[in-house]
Amino acid sequence: MYLLGIDTSSSWLNIAISEDENVLNTYSEFIPQKHIEVLHPAILNLLNETQLTINDIDLFIAVIGPGSFTGIRIAVTCVKGLVYALNKKCVSVISLDLLAYNAVNKDFRFIRPVIDARRNCVYTALYEKQKDKILRRSEYQILRIDDIIKELNPDTVLIGDGIGVYREIIDNYSREKEIHWVEEESQWKIQPENIIKLGYEKFKTQGEENIFDLKPFYIYPKECTIKRNSKSRN
């Protein structure tokens, strides 16, 4: 079975092709606001390099969010179009789950991905490592970065682009408490290989998803919104 995974949930475009769980080729490029222009040529180039055609792909994997509202829709629309046109299978995966796996080899019990959601907020969830697996221990949430840091324990590591965006806030709290984060910026983004790993595992355990159920995953509660007339730029 050949798989193709697509992620447009951030400023990075990530694509991966595999045969079952064996990754054959990947593409990862920082292209803010250019996903629509680059996505289809990038898929075709990756397929050509792998000596495959789009018709060879059996399972399409879409990263459905949370993340950039516009970006998420691009991957979902692309996968739905391909699945419908080619009569293929699809599954979806969550960006926070993928990001958590970047820290699976770090020496911490808990992992907390932090994806920038603007306005001093981040998309996040709490994960616990058990051997080579990661289990989610909270709901997918959007929280203020201050509230996350206040509740961090020393056995938790932060990972994600929220580290860079809110570094000043993190540094201020680090003077008062022990805070750990993944320092390699290359690990603050989704790795294409993880799209294959989680997508293939989901397909094996849950089967394919209904194409009409494939939708962007948005979370944006009231506590992190700003009224239209507010003068605050939090």
Tokens describing residue 86:
């080619």
Can you say whether the dihedral through the CA atoms of 172, 173, 175, 179 is positive or negative? negative
Contact 90, 58 (CB under 8 A): no
- Structure confidence by residue, pLDDT tens digits, 30-43: 999 899 999 999 99
In order of their start, the domains of the chain are: 2-94+189-219 (3.30.420.40), 96-187 (3.30.420.40)
pLDDT, one tens digit for every residue, the chain (234 residues): 999 999 999 999 999 999 999 999 999 999 998 999 999 999 999 999 999 999 999 999 999 999 999 999 999 999 999 999 999 999 999 999 999 999 999 999 999 999 999 999 999 999 999 987 899 999 999 999 999 999 999 999 999 999 999 999 999 999 999 999 999 999 999 999 999 999 999 999 999 999 999 999 999 765 554 444 433 333
Cis peptide before 216 (omega within 30 of 0): no
What's the confidence (pLDDT) of residue 224?
Answer: 53
What's the confidence (pLDDT) of residue 222?
Answer: 57
- Structure confidence by residue, pLDDT tens digits, 102-153: 999 999 999 999 999 999 999 999 999 998 789 999 999 999 999 999 999 9
What is residue 203's three-state secondary structure? helix
Helix (H) and strand (E) counts for the chain? 7, 12
Of 70, 19, 86, 40, which Cα lies nearest the Cα of 27?
40
171: part of which helix (H) or strand (E)?
A: helix 167-174
Question: Edge-to-edge strands of the sheet including 22-30?
Answer: 22-30, 12-19, 2-7, 59-63, 89-93
Q: Whole-structure pTM over 0.85, yes or no?
A: yes
Q: Which residues contact 3 (CB under 8 A, 6 or more apart)?
A: 16, 17, 18, 19, 20, 57, 58, 59, 60, 61, 196, 199, 200
What's the confidence (pLDDT) of residue 114?
Answer: 98
